[in-house]
Amino acid sequence: MTGAATIIGLTGNIATGKSVVRRMLANSGALGIDADEITHRMLYTESPIYTSVIEAFGREILSSDGRISRSKLGEIVFKDQTKLRKLESLIHPGVTNAIKKRIQKATAPVIVIEAIKLLESDLRGLCDSIWVSHASSEHQMKRLMQNRKMDQRQAQERIAAQPPQEEKLTSADVVIHTEGTFEQTWYEIQTSLSDTIQSNANLKETHLNISQNWVAKSAENLTTKQLEGLWKKYAPKGIPGLYQHLGTQMLLIMVHDNRQSHLMLWKNEGFTGTFSHVFPKLVDAKDILFSLESLKRHADQKQCEVIFLPKQYFTDAGIDPAHYEFHRCSNDHLIYSGWREAAANLSFSIENQIWYTLLAYPVEAESINRKNLE
């Protein structure tokens, strides 16, 4: 669509593994864009449609802090199709516009847009290839009950409320079956991605140009066998396996003197990057500084806006994070609702947190208190 990248539209019904497929594609070199996350951002106070939504549905949808409550709004629109269509008419143009802006900023050779209503929206027109994640209704039920803690009735209602999966399958250029293991899904994605790459003559050259500029390697720079060997060598026993991590987190391979020396895992959700693990542990100051630069470059390529790191990451080596553009994190510094929401879900406390802004402002924000960034 852009001439510089191939755009994959990824869809599928609830609990069919869309997000796992998106993350595995991201670990294969793609820029992953979650349309649902951007939809959430349309309800933040900084959104250009914040006032319009309140005018359409009343101030009763607001929480005590002035934010739009998704649960209160959901109670209104999911009981009335007319009101749901009204909300969608307000939100969807902003979502499409934000995705187009991110595509324009993209440097990755492949872009994947995950959207449950991809085929029903104008996002479909942006895509060069339609991928559909698929799992049986039995697997959907099991995942909703185990992973999202729904009871059987709730799970059945959520599945029944969506259009039949068959409607999506008939529109698919690629179907990714997710009922097997993470490893099977990874291999299926690699085969399908290779076919997609071969269909675009400019894609391979673009990919090589990007890879040559990196100071560290990401998963797409290595063969699967090389990844397996590094994981076996460095990853501690007792943690989930390589392929599960490739479907849930980002993997970065740090290289010293042309030798792979460390594996870093970080989470990329809501356009914020969060440190997870590094194997083996970093203790040398030079290694930590190298890892910071590598993480910042990797996160920037994935269009993260903020990186969150625990204070301990720096203090183990006696590093002053302020010298490297990291600053103590507080709610006063987190000037965007999406960043505050991400911080609230961190496994380490905000009092000991350090943060770094990669992109000055989210593309979805119309109004934001920028003084705190100066």
Q: What is the pLDDT of residues 227-247, one digit of tens each?
A: 899 999 999 888 889 999 999
Specify the pLDDT at position 211: 32
Task: Quick: pLDDT tens for 200-224.
Answer: 644 443 333 333 333 477 887 788 8
pLDDT over 90, % of the chain: 52
Q: Does position 295 have pLDDT exceeding 70, yes or no? A: yes
Q: For residue 311, count other CB atoms closer than 10 A to its CB.
A: 17
**pLDDT exceeding 70 applies to what percent of the chain?**
87
Taking alpha carbons only, the member of 284, 306, 207, 219 closest to residue 254 is 219
> Reduced to 3 states, what is the DSSP secondary structure of residue 282?
coil
Rg (CA), the chain: 21
Domains along the chain with CATH numbers: 6-205 (3.40.50.300), 215-373 (3.40.630)
User: What is the structure's pLDDT at 112?
Assistant: 97
pLDDT value of residue 205: 38
pTM of the model: 0.90
CB 205 within 8 A of CB 109: no
Mean pLDDT calculated for residue range 21-36? 95
**Among 74-88, 293-307, 337-351, which is the least confidently predicted range?**
337-351
296 has a pLDDT exceeding 80: yes
| Between 203 and 365, the higher pLDDT residue | 365
What does the alpha-carbon distance between residue 262 and residue 281 come to, in Å, rounded to a whole number? 8
| pLDDT tens by residue, 93-129 | 999 999 999 999 999 989 999 999 999 999 999 999 9
Note the pLDDT of residue 202.
45
Rounded Cα–Cα distance for residues 302 and 286 (Å): 24
pLDDT at 72 over 60: yes
- pLDDT value of residue 237: 86
Cα distance between residue 79 and residue 90, in whole Å: 18
Q: What is the pLDDT of residue 357?
A: 61
pLDDT at 370 (0 to 100): 54
pLDDT tier, 189 (very low <50, low <70, confident <90, very high otherwise): very high
- Write out the H or E segment, with its range, that includes residue 169: helix 165-169
pLDDT score, position 271: 92
CB half-sphere exposure, 100, CA atoms < 13 A: 11
pLDDT of res. 208: 30
If we measure between CA atoms, which residue out of 176, 199, 200, 203 comes closest to residue 187?
176
How confident is the model at residue 358, as a pLDDT?
Answer: 53
